[in-house]
Chains A and B, each alone.
Chain A
Amino acid sequence: MQESSELSQLYSSLVLINAIGSVILLLLVGFNVYSLFRQIRKREAGSQLTIKMVLLFVFLSLAPAGIVFFYSVQFLDQSIDSWFNVEIDRAMDDALEISQVSLEQKERDHLKKMKKLAEHIVAGERVDIEVLRDSISADELTLLSSQGHIKAFSSLSSTLELPDVGNTLLTLGRSDSYAGLDSVKDGGLSVRVIVRINTENPQFLHALFPVSQRIADLADSVEFAFVRYQEMTYLRNSLKVSFSLVLGLVLLLSLLAAIWVAFISIRNIIAPVKQLVKGTQAVADGDYSQQLPVLVHDDMGFLVESFNKMSKRVGLARDEARLSSIEIEDQRAYLQTILSSLTSGVISLDGEFNIRTANQAADAIFHCAINQFSGQPLLAFTQGRSDLQHLVKMIHVKMEYANFTWQQHVSLLGPKGRQEILCRGAPLFSQNQVRIGAVIVFDDISDLIQAQKNAAWGEVARRLAHEIKNPLTPIQLSAERLQLKLSGLLEDSSAAMLNRSTKTIIQQVEVMKKMVDEFAEYAKPSKKNPESISLPDLIQQVVALYSLQPKVEFKVQLAATVPNVHADPIQMRQVLHNLIKNALEALVYEGCITVSVQFLDKKNAQMVEVGIYDNGPGIMAERMDNIFEPYITHKEKGTGLGLAIVKKIIEEHRGSIWLDTEYHEGAGFVFQLPLV
């Protein structure tokens, strides 16, 4: 009972605490739900799983709690209703009414006695209050004046305690009598009766009659039961509402707590999953260094550990692959560097004879950027280059049918004159002996052949000097001696003939000596005295010497800026003289000669290019191949060494000279000298 009373005192506090707790939980749940919706909207990892698990938790907690709540409310309603019924109501009312009727009967009896007693009291006469009290068997009898003052009092009680009659007269009011129950101090009941004594000066007679203890106890019991039942009946609906409210509050609290705990639990469960998702996203983005923390050592922890191992291994594999790739790239670059450093041109082809790669030397040999045609058939870069078509067709044939390394020497008439190309090819096979392509190596051996020719001609010149020039002096001396000894001994006619013959011998010997000297000069290495010279100035000086030719027009085209070259001015002057003289002889001293100078800057190679063109008959095709070789001349006069010497000087200056075969209005020679 004490605990119940304490709980009763704490009831409001508990309800308030529960309500506040519910509000706090509602706010927490609301915040979590809001966060969850934001996560769903952002499509964050684990949000769908969270909402499913929350719904599951809510269902699992709501379903049994709802059922319990429903049946509890029903049970309480029925239980409370079962406390009451019509019979009990009627019985309680009847019991109270019986008690009231019984007591009222006593009240009426006592009132009747009191009224009779009042009739015997005559105004002004003295009364013996003790006798009167005994006559009506009252516990207490009091005679009061109209103002409520006690005029006489008698009581069975031994104490001299006067009655409190203030409320009594108020209760009586204006009526003549009053009879009613009153409780006494010892917990019993008594009947209080007041009557008015109708005299000229009104007085009141107040008496307390005892009610037997048995009747008082029974009446008290009936009243207690009636009041309790009445109170319960009155509180019936409130009790139901109160129980329902408390149960509802508990249900709400439980539900909200379950949802909140669900959020927290799911958050803990989802956390590793979220980490895994982030980790996989990082791996998908190429970040293999992602190592997830192992929060728990359960199945999820095992999964996280496995993921860490996997990402670590993938990262290592990626690093190894990257290193391999870098190594391969280095090797490729190294190979590319080697290929680009080679003087031999290298072209690689795939199985369909499409160009894959070509080095710079190949570009230089064929005077075109072959890499531009990468992925295209080999014939592609021969478009507009008729000189190369023969070579490419030959390569095609070789590549189709040759199963081994092959070699072919091909002569081309390129834009810079004739080229001697040594072409070597090797087919490439896979491990399954399937032809997957080929590698072709080109070497421009023009210079090598030219050097061989020059060496041969040098040897010829030395032999001529040794074998021919040595006998010429005795021949010449002998001829002069014949003329000296015999001219006086012969007749005039014979002497004249002898004179002519010896003179002819001497002249031809001189010519032969000169020719031999020139060959010797051509054959021996020249002595250069190089210095920085301006080719435009030199050209203008040389051209000025020929400007007096009446029927020859000279056109000099000089570029705006032409840097100086490092060359021997005497030899350069001889080159210009030989070329201009060659042009004049071709024009038969009538026509136009154009001399141009320009600066070229190609692929880190800076050079000065000089072109000398005439509008003469030009050079026949069959002469083009050996135009620069010695002893090749079609002039009536001349040794055939002019262009050979020019070529020799230019090449000694590390330059190049060629016949411009694309010029068709006459003959054109072009030479280039490097700046360094």
Chain B
Amino acid sequence: MVFFMQSLLSSRGVVLLGALLCLSCSVGDEQKNIQILKKTASVSEQGVVLDANVGVQLGAEAEKALKNGVPLVWAVTARLWQSREIIWDEKIAEVVYRYQISYHALMDIYRVKDEQSGAENTFTSLQLALNEIGSLKNILITADRSISKKNLYSIGLLFSLDKERLPVPLRLVAYYDPGWALTSQWNIWFFQK
């Protein structure tokens, strides 16, 4: 609950709030398209890093849009909280990574672009491209390695289609059409160094 409230107060949460309130009833069953299958977090030399495997399936509408040249941007949101006993948890870090998938008709290939690094990969099938997007490796949540062994932390992961990056005419449709409900549930687990 605390986490949900914090998520609502995040940057785009305010904009999403209205639409989510209106559409929350209709999108519930569609979230199975995006499922976080596996997730692990560890403290490496870089900091707190996250590995996850997300099963991504596009709905018919999204696939049709992709095939018609609409690039889809996926947002991977990761948060780190320090648990507190009496008051709400303290958010220590939040990162958002975006990956874009686009279709190239001339070569009949799918191109996946990491917007952080600019690296691109091409795939001859959609599923290969989605698998690539769903394979999250070394997602750096925070470079701060000074997290204490005494404290209990929690990590949240959300994998969702960034509807704000859709073309403007498609945005409103994406908000109220259940076929565009491409977001996972917040996946939260406890973590201790």
Chain A stretch 237-254: residues in CB contact (< 8 A) with chain B: 238-239, 241-243, 245
Q: B169, A230: Cβ atoms under 8 Å?
A: no
**A12 contacts which of B15, B65, B167, B169 (Cβ < 8 Å)?**
B15
**How distant is the Cα of A220 from the Cα of B18 in the complex, in angstroms?**
41
Given A231-B70, A242-B168: A16 and B18 within 8 A (CB)? yes
Query: Distance (Å) between the CB of B72 and the closest chain A CB?
Result: 12
- A-B interface, 8 closest residue pairs, ranked by CB to CB distance from nearest: A234-B68, A227-B69, A231-B69, A223-B106, A239-B169, A238-B169, A242-B169, A181-B107
Chain B stretch 73-122: residues in CB contact (< 8 A) with chain A: 104-107, 109, 121-122
Q: Spell out A's residues near B (CB within 8 Å).
A: 8-9, 11-13, 15-16, 19-20, 96, 99-100, 103, 167, 170-171, 180-183, 219-220, 222-223, 226-228, 230-231, 233-235, 238-239, 241-243, 245
Query: Distance (Å) between the CB of B103 and the closest chain A CB?
Result: 8
14 residue pairs A–B, Cβ–Cβ below 8 Å: A8-B168, A12-B164, A16-B15, A167-B121, A180-B124, A181-B106, A223-B105, A223-B106, A227-B105, A231-B70, A238-B170, A239-B169, A241-B169, A241-B173
Interfacial chain B residues near A228, Cβ < 8 Å? 69
Interfacial chain A residues near B15, Cβ < 8 Å? 12-13, 16
Query: Distance (Å) between the CB of A518 and the closest chain B CB?
Result: 130
Q: B69, A230: Cβ atoms under 8 Å?
A: yes
Interfacial chain B residues near A11, Cβ < 8 Å? 168, 171
**How distant is the Cα of A170 from the Cα of B122 in the complex, in angstroms?**
12
Q: B167, A235: Cβ atoms under 8 Å?
A: yes
Interfacial chain B residues near A99, Cβ < 8 Å? 106
Q: B106, A231: Cβ atoms under 8 Å?
A: no
Name the CB-closest residue of A to B104: A223
Query: Distance (Å) between the CB of B107 and the closest chain A CB?
Result: 4
B145 contacts A by Cβ under 8 Å: no
**How distant is the Cα of A220 from the Cα of B106 in the complex, in angstroms?**
8
**B105 contacts which of A16, A180, A230, A239 (Cβ < 8 Å)?**
A230
Query: Distance (Å) between the CB of B106 and the closest chain A CB?
Result: 4
**B68 contacts which of A8, A100, A223, A230 (Cβ < 8 Å)?**
A230
Given A16-B18, A20-B18: A182 and B122 within 8 A (CB)? yes
B172 contacts A by Cβ under 8 Å: yes
**How distant is the Cα of A9 from the Cα of B165 in the complex, in angstroms?**
8
Interfacial chain B residues near A181, Cβ < 8 Å? 106-107, 109
Q: A182, B69: Cβ atoms under 8 Å?
A: no
Interface of A is mostly: helix
Q: B173, A238: Cβ atoms under 8 Å?
A: yes
B159 contacts A by Cβ under 8 Å: no
| Per-residue A-contact encoding for B152-193, CB less than 8 Å = 1, 0 else | 000000000001100111111101000000000000000000
Interfacial chain A residues near B104, Cβ < 8 Å? 223, 227
**How distant is the Cα of A182 from the Cα of B167 in the complex, in angstroms?**
27
Interfacial chain B residues near A15, Cβ < 8 Å? 172
B19 contacts A by Cβ under 8 Å: yes
Given A182-B122, A238-B169: A100 and B18 within 8 A (CB)? no
**How distant is the Cα of A282 from the Cα of B109 in the complex, in angstroms?**
86
Interfacial chain A residues near B68, Cβ < 8 Å? 230-231, 233-234
B38 contacts A by Cβ under 8 Å: no
Interfacial chain A residues near B163, Cβ < 8 Å? 12
Q: B64, A234: Cβ atoms under 8 Å?
A: yes
**How distant is the Cα of A181 from the Cα of B124 in the complex, in angstroms?**
11
Query: Distance (Å) between the CB of B67 and the closest chain A CB?
Result: 8
**How distant is the Cα of A170 from the Cα of B170 in the complex, in angstroms?**
35
Interfacial chain B residues near A9, Cβ < 8 Å? 164
Interfacial chain B residues near A170, Cβ < 8 Å? 128
Interfacial chain B residues near A219, Cβ < 8 Å? 106
Name the CB-closest residue of A to B163: A12
Query: Distance (Å) between the CB of A545 and the closest chain B CB?
Result: 123
**How distant is the Cα of A234 from the Cα of B71 in the complex, in angstroms?**
13
Interfacial chain A residues near B121, Cβ < 8 Å? 167
Interfacial chain B residues near A242, Cβ < 8 Å? 168-173
Q: B18, A171: Cβ atoms under 8 Å?
A: no
Query: Distance (Å) between the CB of A83 and the closest chain B CB?
Result: 13
Interfacial chain B residues near A239, Cβ < 8 Å? 169
Name the CB-closest residue of B to A235: B169
**How distant is the Cα of A355 from the Cα of B54 in the complex, in angstroms?**
116
Name the CB-closest residue of B to A245: B172
Q: A180, B169: Cβ atoms under 8 Å?
A: no
Q: B175, A234: Cβ atoms under 8 Å?
A: no
Name the CB-closest residue of A to B132: A167
**How distant is the Cα of A180 from the Cα of B121 in the complex, in angstroms?**
15
**How distant is the Cα of A192 from the Cα of B124 in the complex, in angstroms?**
13
Q: A19, B18: Cβ atoms under 8 Å?
A: yes
Interfacial chain A residues near B170, Cβ < 8 Å? 235, 238, 242
Name the CB-closest residue of A to B174: A238
**How distant is the Cα of A103 from the Cα of B123 in the complex, in angstroms?**
18
Given A11-B168, A242-B169: A234 and B106 within 8 A (CB)? no
Interfacial chain B residues near A171, Cβ < 8 Å? 124
Q: A226, B65: Cβ atoms under 8 Å?
A: no
Interfacial chain B residues near A12, Cβ < 8 Å? 15, 19, 163-164, 171-172, 175
Query: Distance (Å) between the CB of A165 and the closest chain B CB?
Result: 13
Interfacial chain B residues near A234, Cβ < 8 Å? 64-65, 68-70
Interfacial chain A residues near B168, Cβ < 8 Å? 8, 11, 242
Interfacial chain A residues near B64, Cβ < 8 Å? 234
Interfacial chain A residues near B107, Cβ < 8 Å? 180-183
Query: Distance (Å) between the CB of A218 and the closest chain B CB?
Result: 11
**How distant is the Cα of A222 from the Cα of B107 in the complex, in angstroms?**
12
Query: Distance (Å) between the CB of B90 and the closest chain A CB?
Result: 28
Known: A181-B106, A231-B68. 20 other contacts (CB 8 A): A8-B168, A15-B172, A16-B19, A96-B105, A180-B109, A182-B122, A226-B69, A226-B105, A227-B105, A230-B68, A230-B105, A234-B64, A234-B68, A235-B170, A238-B170, A238-B173, A239-B169, A241-B173, A242-B172, A243-B169
